[in-house]
Amino acid sequence: MKKAIQTDQAPSAIGPYSQGISGGGFIFVSGQIPLDPAKGEIVGQTIEEQTHQVFKNLRAILQAGGSSLDQVVKATVYLSDMNDFSRMNAVYAQYFSEPYPARAAFQVAKLPREAKIEVEVIALS
């Protein structure tokens, strides 16, 4: 049985999707961009600032679903510019410890709201 996860501590879904879904012992968190949940505006100009906000949003959704960043088993990172990879990676490393989640990272043509980064995760519930 699947269950939607919703929190006002992360940006509301802006389309026909849930912030997260729990089911089968996992939590699937929709891609998060660096939006301030209260203002609905992009936070920060740098990849570092935007990455921190993305992880605040991910953390809030995971907590609302009864999980945490420590329980993440897979992450997918979307970057508008792969030249930002090493700086993003330095921030990303602050949110995880060994054993690190499996991960994929891609450069994409464009992200919503001109964000520099979007991250989606799968975690144990």
Secondary structure of 14-76 in HEC code, one letter for each residue: CCCCCCEEEECCEEEEEEECCECCCCCCECCCCHHHHHHHHHHHHHHHHHHCCCCHHHEEEEE
Q: How many distinct structural domains can be found in the chain?
A: 1
What is the CATH classification number for the domain harbouring 56?
3.30.1330.40
What's the pLDDT at 51?
98
- Domain, as residue range, for 71: 3-124
Interior angle at CA 68, CA 74 and CA 112, nearest 5: 60
Q: Give the whole-angstrom CA distance, residue 36 versus residue 30.
A: 16
What's the pLDDT at 14?
81
What's the pLDDT at 84?
98
pLDDT digits (tens), the chain, 125 positions: 999 999 999 999 888 999 999 999 999 999 999 999 999 999 999 999 999 999 999 999 999 999 999 999 999 999 999 999 999 999 999 999 999 999 999 999 999 999 999 999 999 99
